[in-house]
Amino acid sequence: MGAPKTTVWAIEPHTQAKHEILDRYLQAWTAILSLGRFPAIAYVDGFAGPGVYEKGQIGSPIIALNAALEQQRQHPAMANTKLIFLFIEQKTDRAERLQENVDELQLPSNFRVKVVGGTSFEQGFASTCSTSTAAANSRYLRRLRSSIRLAGPACRSAL
Ligand SMILES: C[S@@+](CC[C@H](N)C(=O)[O-])C[C@H]1O[C@@H](n2cnc3c(N)ncnc32)[C@H](O)[C@@H]1O
């Protein structure tokens, strides 16, 4: 099947398999990361889609939000970490549908969701991530940089 042209389309079996893996992965890692020392963690879906498929199956951005919601219900201390979700979707109609699907969720105040539509992942990531994510983690990064000072130039430049 070629790339779909409509706003939503029928889900493929390989996409369903991917969603199952994604859900299990995020159910495990969201809590582990959030309960660590990070003041904020960011999740970026650069090819987000509309968040829903033809027969109502949910798409990857909504799977990620649901996984984080479920984990926060089980681990209330996660509320101390800001969870930033950046969803980038090139097609404007799909980004709008995704925004509608996100708006239907009741999200706790530590959740920050940004849907960036009408731009490529490459541009959307560069323009948005450098401000929100990096700013949120800048204090942590400063601490990390100073504690890693002895690790050598290659490691420092990676930060
Ligand atoms: C396979 S679909 C999305 C599937 C979705 N991640 C999920 O699992 O439910 C890929 C999406 O990426 C979008 N896309 C393609 N190239 C892109 C790019 N360079 N930047 C952002 N979005 C892009 C397409 O419009 C399409 O909606």
Atom 13 of ligand 1: nearest residue by CA position: 47
pLDDT tens readout for residues 29-88: 999 988 887 888 999 999 999 999 999 999 999 999 999 999 999 999 999 999 999 999
Residue 117 within a domain? yes
pLDDT tens readout for residues 112-137: 999 999 999 988 887 776 655 556 55
Rounded Cα distance, 41 and 10, in Å: 32
49 C-alpha vs ligand 1 centroid, how far in Å? 5
Domain with 121, as residue range(s), is 13-158
Neighbouring C-beta atoms of residue 75, cutoff 10 Å: 14
Neighbouring C-beta atoms of residue 24, cutoff 10 Å: 11
Rounded Cα distance, 25 and 67, in Å: 9
- The one-letter amino acid code at 28 reads A
**Index of the ligand 1 atom closest to the CA of residue 49:** 27
C-alpha atoms less than 13 angstroms from C-alpha of 9 in its C-beta half-sphere: 13
Q: Under a CB-based contact definition with an 8 Å cutoff, are residues 137 and 39 in contact? A: yes
Residue 7 within a domain? no
Is residue 121 within 6 Å of ligand 1 at its C-beta? Answer: yes
Whether residue 102 has pLDDT greater than 60: yes
Residue 78 within a domain? yes
Residue 4 within a domain? no
Is residue 51 within 6 Å of ligand 1 at its C-beta? Answer: no
Residue 153 within a domain? yes
Whether residue 21 has pLDDT greater than 80: yes
Residue 29 within a domain? yes
Residue 53 contacts by C-beta under 8 Å, 6 or more apart in sequence? 8, 9, 10, 11, 15, 59
Residue 8 within a domain? no
In total, how many domains does the chain have?
A: 1
